[in-house]
Structure 1
Amino acid sequence: MTPEDYDVLFEQSLDEAAFSNSDEGLGWTEANCATCVHDRPARQGDPARGCPLILVSLMDRRPVQWIDGPLDEHGAYSLAGQYHCVEYRHEDDGPTDPEPIPDPPGQLELFPREPYTGVRMWLRPNPAAFPAGKGAVS
């Protein structure tokens, strides 16, 4: 994902505000974007090369790459766990894109991989990592 993808990401986004106010948006971006490799250039003083998903959210649109986070038994979510970004990659995790497992030498394929590849998340959202409570919104 590069900043040049902004127009495509804007077109794919949902016509709804990602956050209800600036505190909610700041809380989520500090918890999630502060360690993401895609927003590292912006944190290092080059905002033009920052994450385009943040720019989409600042235009009162919700990126489709942000899936709903877990809710507690009362239907509330924590600010940090409101969304789970499928493009999130921690800056210490290595390569920015998942790499497919290579086929073993000499093994035949039943089906080609290409039609079945797509956006992959490295980790599933863990509801325990985003406890609702203080600062929760319902």
Structure 2
Amino acid sequence: MTLQGVDHHFDEARPEPAFSNSDEGIGWTDANCSTCVHDLAARTGNQLGGCPLVTVSLMGRRPVQWLDGPRDEHGRYSRARQYVCVEYRHEDDGPTDPQPIPDPPGQLQLLPRDDYEGVRMLLRPNPATYPAPAA
């Protein structure tokens, strides 16, 4: 999936800063953006082709694509997992656009299979919220 422009993401972003200081921002972007396909152009020297979500965060707003990451019982988090970016795609994961599953040969289709467009993010369950197994 390709991201839209900076103006679009800026307009839909939350009116709050994403990071409290530059150390926090650099820690998160190093852990997350250093392998993301959307920021590959900026890492290879094309500063205008970088991730628009990072640009929005540098403009003092928090992109809606950055969901709160896991917190402990006191609300603490690690800098690398402060947010979970729903647009993150590893640069070695293959095609960035969704690929439809082909119909098996000889099988009829009951319903049309339209392309899914949108953002879908599955989060791993937090083990701290589940009770310990009974022995």
Normalised by the shorter chain, which TM-score bucket?
Answer: 0.7 to 0.9
Q: Moved runs in structure 1, 4+ residues, more than 2 A?
A: 97-105, 111-114, 123-128
- Is there any run of 5+ residues in structure 2 with no aligned partner, and where? 128-135
What secondary structure is seen at the aligned counterpart in 1 of 2:23?
Answer: helix
Size of the aligned set, in residue pairs, is: 124
The within-5 A match list for 1:19-58 is 19-58=19-58
* Partners of 1:16 and 1:61 within 8 A in 2: yes
Q: 1:54-106 deviations in whole A, cap 9, x for unaligned?
A: 00000000000000101012210100000000000000000113334345542
What secondary structure is seen at the aligned counterpart in 2 of 1:80?
Answer: helix
- Is there any run of 5+ residues in structure 1 with no aligned partner, and where? 129-138
What TM-score do the two structures reach when normalised by structure 2? 0.81
Match in the other structure for 1:124: 123
What TM-score do the two structures reach when normalised by structure 1? 0.79
TM-aligned CA distance change 1:125 to 1:25, over 3 Å: farther
Equivalent of residue 106 in structure 1, options 102, 105, 108: 108
TM-aligned CA distance change 1:23 to 1:55, over 3 Å: same
